[in-house]
Amino acid sequence: MAGTTTNKIEVGFRNYLLSLIGSDSGALCSSKGQEYDDPGGRLRFLHCKETSKIEMWEKMKDKATASNNLMGLWKYTVSSCMKIEAWWDNLKNGGHEGGFYNPGTCSVGHMAVSGGRLNYGQNCVINKNHLTWDSSGNKREFYTNRQEDRSLSICRDIILQMMYYFEIVNTDSSTRSKLSNPNPCQDLYESLVRWGGTQVAEAIMTDWFIGDSSGTPGGISQSLKGIDLYEVMTETVYGDGRGDKSIRCRLAEGLESSGTQASPKYKTEYDKGMELSECRESSNKCSGLEEILQLGQSPDEEISGDITSTARIAPENGTGGDGTGVSLSASAPSYSGSSFLSSGDEDSNIKRAPKTPPSVSGGSASIGWAVGASVGILLGLVSSAYGYYRVFYMRSRRRNLMRAPRLHGARIAYA
């Protein structure tokens, strides 16, 4: 998993996730049965290009209960991954200075999944050709023979484990005032070892969490100022500017063993004066989360902040430009840093419905197409009017939020 932090960000979020397959125990392919017991077996299963249905990792299924809502959160992870992918691309387009990438004023709070598609505000500069999952909100079945499904499933697995071990599993405001687990960082690390192997687990812990400046540089969060990937993920649940800022996962090397029990590799620390994020029904902190847990599907969301539903789209040359909505690219995006694709994956062909009427002869067929087109336009106008109502009416009920900086601006160590 060689490569600089800049390379990791520049290749895009999807390719960063796929790069995990090319290291440690993720290099080979495992059958569906092997994903349960073999260390790294789940990631190896996601490397397989045979046609197998991808479901929640069995290790996490074993932890699912009626009270922790893991099954509902598993579905919710699709929306979270869609937003993080777009936020990551905005990060690339914002450039970097002094070793830090600048996301500007774009945040996951400026994004919403509506009708299964991702929408984002005018302050996000995103190359739509770099987005792989932007139409996946209503998708219910995923298969290993599709690269976009494999990469999305890697993202979902990582996020679900973080949600579980950091107890982002309930909309009850009383459940997260204090974590019941004294060292969730270590438990997450051990779970990631079982999921993808030791090297993969160490890379994820370094890339997603702010630690300290005493280790070897190279983690992705080292290049983010005042925020880390874990906090970005929690903002997809708790809302813009309300992610977990207080949690740090630091290397715990040098601690003595206690009897036969090995020393933990990571320790969990909390910044003084910072509270854990939590859901409060009255403050609308968890937009859509209650609904997703009850219905098991991605709800239509409103976008927060003073923005519109029209996105600024950065074309391939990166010079900016305006566009509306988001669409999947019909061809494979061009990424730098090809060394990250050591698994030899190629993009699946993604076909879109034709935008022109069918070429047919005969008056009845032409009339039928015209009537169908008219109905489609009418429905589109009604849907658009309702969408604007949701965005502007709901926006008036929400307060403007400012992102609070972390107390420490330390760069991240890379294990």
Q: Is residue 345 part of a domain?
A: yes
Strand partners, 267: 250
How many CB atoms lie under 10 A from the CB of residue 258? 9
Distance CA(220)–CA(222), nearest Å, equals: 5
CB 142 within 8 A of CB 153: yes
How many CB atoms lie under 10 A from the CB of residue 94? 17
Q: What is the pLDDT of residue 410?
A: 32
CB 225 within 8 A of CB 23: no
Query: Position 210: which residue type?
Result: I
Q: Is residue 370 part of a domain?
A: no
Q: What is the pLDDT of residue 338?
A: 31
Query: Position 39: which residue type?
Result: P
Query: Position 227: which residue type?
Result: I
Q: Is residue 28 part of a domain?
A: yes
Give residue-wise pLDDT tens across range 104-159. 889 898 898 888 889 988 889 898 888 999 988 888 899 999 999 999 999 999 99
Domain with 293, as residue range(s), is 5-351
Beta strands in 69-138 (DSSP E): 96-97, 100-101, 111-114, 117-120, 125-126
Q: Which residues contact 93 (CB under 8 A, 6 or more apart)?
A: 125, 126, 127, 314, 318
Q: Is residue 368 part of a domain?
A: no
Q: What is the pLDDT of residue 382?
A: 55
Q: What is the pLDDT of residue 14?
A: 94
Distance CA(327)–CA(64), nearest Å, equals: 34
Please give the average pLDDT of every successive group of 10 residues along the chain, which has 415 residues.
64 92 61 70 88 93 85 91 94 77 85 89 88 88 92 97 87 59 94 94 91 56 84 89 84 57 80 61 50 48 43 41 30 31 35 36 48 59 50 38 41 30
Q: What is the pLDDT of residue 165?
A: 95
Distance CA(265)–CA(109), nearest Å, equals: 33
H or E element in which residue 360 lies = none
Which candidate, 366, 25, 413, places its Cα nearest to that of 220?
413
Read off φ and ψ for residue 314, nearest 5 degrees: -85, 120
DSSP one-letter code for 258:
B
Overall number of domains in the chain? 1
Q: Is residue 206 part of a domain?
A: yes
Q: Is residue 290 part of a domain?
A: yes
Which candidate, 10, 143, 78, places its Cα nearest to that of 297?
78
CB 320 within 8 A of CB 93: no
Q: Is residue 389 part of a domain?
A: no
